[in-house]
Amino acid sequence: MTVRVRFAPSPTGYLHLGAARAALFNWLFARKCGGKFLLRIEDTDLQRSTDESTRSILEGLEWLGIGDYDEEVVFQSRNADKHRAAALRLIEEGKAYRDFTPKEDRADANVKREIAERARTAAAVEGVDHRSNPYRDLPLEESNRRGAAGEPFAVRLKVAREGRSRFEDVVYGEQVRDYSEIEDLVLLRSGDLSPLYNLSVVVDDIEMAVTHVIRGQDHLTNTHKQVLIYQALGTPVPVFAHLPLILAPNKAKLSKRKHGEVVSLTTYRDRGFIPAAFRNFLALLGWSPGDDREIMSLEELISRFSLEGIHRSNAVFNFNERDARQWTDQKALWMNAEYIRTMPLEELVPMVRSELESAGLWRPEYVAEERAWFERTIDLIRQRFYTLKDFSGQGRAYLSDDFEFDPQAVAKNLKKEPRLRELLPRLADHLERVEPWTTETVETALRAFADETGVKAGLLINSSRTALTGQAVGPSMFDVFDVFGRSRSVKRLRDAAQLV
């Protein structure tokens, strides 16, 4: 059997992290099994679906590196006729029925739902059948006649009076539900006979020959209804694997309304994440390879992925809305830093280039005569960076003379010691004579100058760091001197004396 899985987002907004993770798990499973990964845009809610949202879903998948669907994208709204035909066939077979209940009787959906709820509870408690719809057992000829005469109707599935629906979920195990808890669900709406969600999903999944349905746990309840539709249509059910929820630190469901941009995939692209790093992070949100490995290449993720490794317990996304440094999950940031620090430089450089271009810091020399210098500098500063934004932020002083000093760094490393006003220009004079200019020669010269003037080398190192880079922390200062070169280094030391 060839594995066929699909990612089936509704294009009604941004691509939520949970959806992106569902896409990734489907993709990993398909790639692992040599199966097919399909994309179906569930755009049946015409009011809420937008092209912009579809575009952002496609872009998001592309960015994650999983935009290589194996077949043409399916748009669910284009299949409405097939969904309708399936429901009408079920009427002919006596598995569904036309419900001619006049509209005014269902006018208030809330009242109706409440009545149904009460009937259901009563049924569950007393074992009373709640399927009292008078049209349920209308003879087919009469139903056909009234339908043909233009009387409006909805189509409902005939759910058996007794028995239980059951299916096996790979993650959550056996799921059982008493039929008495499931209403005769509507397949087609009264009036325009537009298909409802559960019918459309099932008919499309059958049409697309989907073998495994991997999606969020919030669809577990729907699955019972979908299983009934599969059975009515006489088609075997696919394998179901539902994914644990992704929760906020306070255990609320992560939502854009409540938590803002942090739940939207494009935020990570826009805030300087490396796609491979974020993909690696998402893969571990509710799945583990069975040991505590965290950094995994794409090949490793594919080869180790299994539905059995998916967790049942919900994943918690740790961030703190009140702390800008913890705007997203700390592990995501840590992982991104790891990728930035360790990935092949030739893969990182093009990403840094786009970041510098959008910040107006890119210079064509960086791929020409200054290429070696540029790459050495990127290699040096990447060691402490968390996102690509840091290259244009904290890294700005390396690439431009127009940079800002961190006021706390100035207070700590320059203003605290008044002697620096005089020492920094003298250090500049001293370093100006160093020949050749290397990490080692600069270090020797700076330490000799410290001895000569009776100050600690640390004082000179820390103040030089702030003088040259505007920051209090950074790579080894002698490497920093090395990449800045002699003339920029001494100029910044002299200029910084003004700040003391």
Residues forming contacts to ligand GLU in the complex (CB under 6 A) are 8-10, 42, 201, 215, 219
Q: At its nearest, how many Å lie between ligand GLU and the CB of residue 215?
A: 4
Comparing CB distances to ligand GLU, the nearer of 42 and 169 is 42
> Could you identify the residue written with the tokens 């208030």?
108
Q: At its nearest, how many Å lie between ligand GLU and the CB of residue 24?
A: 14
Comparing CB distances to ligand GLU, the nearer of 131 and 219 is 219
Kindly name the residue from 32, 256, 331, 491 that is annotated as catalytic: 256
Instruction: Tell me, yes or no, if 256 is annotated catalytic.
Output: yes
Q: At its nearest, how many Å lie between ligand GLU and the CB of residue 230?
A: 13
Strand-strand pairing, 173-178 and 74-75: unpaired
Comparing CB distances to ligand GLU, the nearer of 215 and 486 is 215
Q: At its nearest, how many Å lie between ligand GLU and the CB of residue 42?
A: 4
- CA dist 426 and 406 (Å) reads 24
> Could you identify the residue written with the tokens 């896409």?
23
Both tokens of residue 476? Answer: 């080894």
3-state secondary structure of 379: helix
Cβ atoms of residues 245 and 252 within 8 Å: no
Q: At its nearest, how many Å lie between ligand GLU and the CB of residue 71?
A: 17
Both tokens of residue 308? Answer: 């059995």
Q: At its nearest, how many Å lie between ligand GLU and the CB of residue 173?
A: 19
Cβ atoms of residues 405 and 466 within 8 Å: yes
Cβ atoms of residues 25 and 213 within 8 Å: no
Output the 3-class SS for the chain.
CCCEEEECCCCCCCCEHHHHHHHHHHHHHHHHHCCEEEEEECCCCCCCCCHHHHHHHHHHHHHHCCCCCCCCCEEHHHHHHHHHHHHHHHHHCCCEEEECCCHHHHCCHHHHHHHHHHHHHHHHHHCCCCCCCCCCCCCHHHHHHHHHCCCCCEEEECCCCCCEEEEEECCCEEEEEEHHHCCCCEEECCCCCCECHHHHHHHHHHHCCCCEEEEEHHHHHHHHHHHHHHHHHCCCCCEEEEECCEECCCCCECCHHHHHHHHEHHHHHHCCCCHHHHHHHHHCCCECCCCCCCCCCHHHHHHHCCHHHECCCCEECCCCCCCHHHCCCHHHHHHHHHHHHHCCHHHHHHHHHHHHHHCCCCCHHHHCCCHHHHHHHHHHHHHHCCCCHHHHCCCHHHHCCCCCCCHHHHHHHHHCCCCHHHHHHHHHHHHHCCCCCCHHHHHHHHHHHHHHHCCCHHHHHHHHHHHHHCCCCCCCHHHHHHHHHHHHHHHHHHHHHHHC
Q: At its nearest, how many Å lie between ligand GLU and the CB of residue 82?
A: 17
Q: At its nearest, how many Å lie between ligand GLU and the CB of residue 305?
A: 18
Comparing CB distances to ligand GLU, the nearer of 197 and 437 is 197
Comparing CB distances to ligand GLU, the nearer of 82 and 136 is 82
Nearest residue to ligand GLU on Cβ basis: 215
Comparing CB distances to ligand GLU, the nearer of 75 and 437 is 75
Comparing CB distances to ligand GLU, the nearer of 287 and 478 is 287
Q: At its nearest, how many Å lie between ligand GLU and the CB of residue 36?
A: 16
Residues paired with 39 in a beta bridge: 7
Comparing CB distances to ligand GLU, the nearer of 135 and 197 is 197
Active site residues: 256
